[in-house]
């Protein structure tokens, strides 16, 4: 992961690199790259990006013993924005919005900020999104689902692992998809809820 993050950082614009340097984040020295690696990215897994960035900071080759949450958030934000803007399209989006992740990182908030900047009518990296996975043990991010429903209508597979009940925003996301083929809804075991009738009805209506 250390080498991968090094590679992605090396593809940042000079302006982004200068921002990192201002916040005392080292810029790795990477030889001329053969490919434009971010353009080949098809899967965005925010948990993996979160862990990879933290591992990068903690790696012995990084050269610093300590780092701050501000530095982590900054690199996560700049790197995720860069990867999304330079990928021709994202096929799969995975977001974990759990108590542990919220305590140690801010990836779900970062992806929401990025998505909010995408105009409704503009073709974007999520225009051809095929799979969306969302894992949360806290209340659903209403704004995230509503915004996704506005910028993509091509999702075929949705997997929710959620806290308590489905919400109207989640149902709006389901209804907006024109080719939804597979829906999985799981609830965290602490809640005695086995099935969500509204979500199932929405899916069945779209299947008819």
> In terms of domains, do 83 and 96 share one?
no
Q: Say how far apart CA 69 and CA 71 lie, in whole Å.
A: 5
> In terms of domains, do 123 and 75 share one?
no
Instruction: Please write the tens of the pLDDT for every residue from 60-94.
Output: 776 566 788 888 889 998 998 898 888 878 999 99
pTM: 0.81
Query: Which helix H or strand E contains 4, and what residues bound it?
Result: helix 2-10
> In terms of domains, do 80 and 18 share one?
yes
Is residue 194's pLDDT more than 50? no
Is residue 49's pLDDT more than 80? yes
Domain of 142 in residue numbering reads as 89-208
Nearest in space to 53 (alpha carbons), one of 70, 37, 21, 75: 75
Q: How many domains does the chain have?
A: 2
Number of other CB atoms surrounding residue 114 within 10 Å: 17
> In terms of domains, do 199 and 166 share one?
yes
Q: Which two tokens stand for residue 19?
A: 């921002």
Average pLDDT over residues 43-55: 88
Q: What is the pLDDT of residue 195?
A: 47
> In terms of domains, do 104 and 148 share one?
yes
Domain boundary among 58, 88, 118: 88
> In terms of domains, do 127 and 52 share one?
no
Q: What is the pLDDT of residue 63?
A: 55
Nearest in space to 153 (alpha carbons), one of 134, 126, 135: 126
Instruction: Please write the tens of the pLDDT for every residue from 105-138.
Output: 456 677 778 887 776 656 788 888 999 998 877 6
């Amino acid at each position: 992961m250390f080498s991968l993050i090094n590679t992605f950082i090396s593809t940042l614009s000079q302006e982004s690199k200068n921002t990192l340097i201002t916040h005392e984040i080292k810029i790795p020295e990477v030889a001329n790259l053969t490919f434009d690696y971010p353009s080949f990215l098809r899967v965005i897994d925010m948990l993996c990006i979160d862990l990879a960035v933290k591992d990068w900071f903690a790696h012995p080759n990084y050269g610093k013993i300590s780092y701050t949450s501000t530095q982590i958030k900054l690199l996560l934000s700049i790197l995720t924005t860069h990867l999304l803007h330079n990928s021709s399209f994202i096929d799969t989006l995975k977001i974990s919005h759990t108590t542990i992740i919220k305590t140690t990182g801010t990836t779900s908030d970062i992806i929401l900020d990025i998505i909010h900047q995408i105009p409704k009518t503009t073709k974007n990296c999520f225009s051809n999104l095929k799979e969306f996975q969302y894992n949360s043990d806290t209340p659903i991010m209403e704004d995230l689902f509503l915004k996704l429903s506005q910028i993509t209508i091509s999702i075929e597979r949705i997997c929710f692992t959620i806290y308590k009940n489905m919400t109207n925003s989640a149902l709006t996301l389901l209804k907006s998809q024109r080719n939804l083929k597979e829906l999985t809804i799981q609830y965290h075991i602490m809640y005695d809820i086995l099935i969500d009738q509204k979500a199932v009805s929405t899916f069945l209506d779209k299947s008819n």
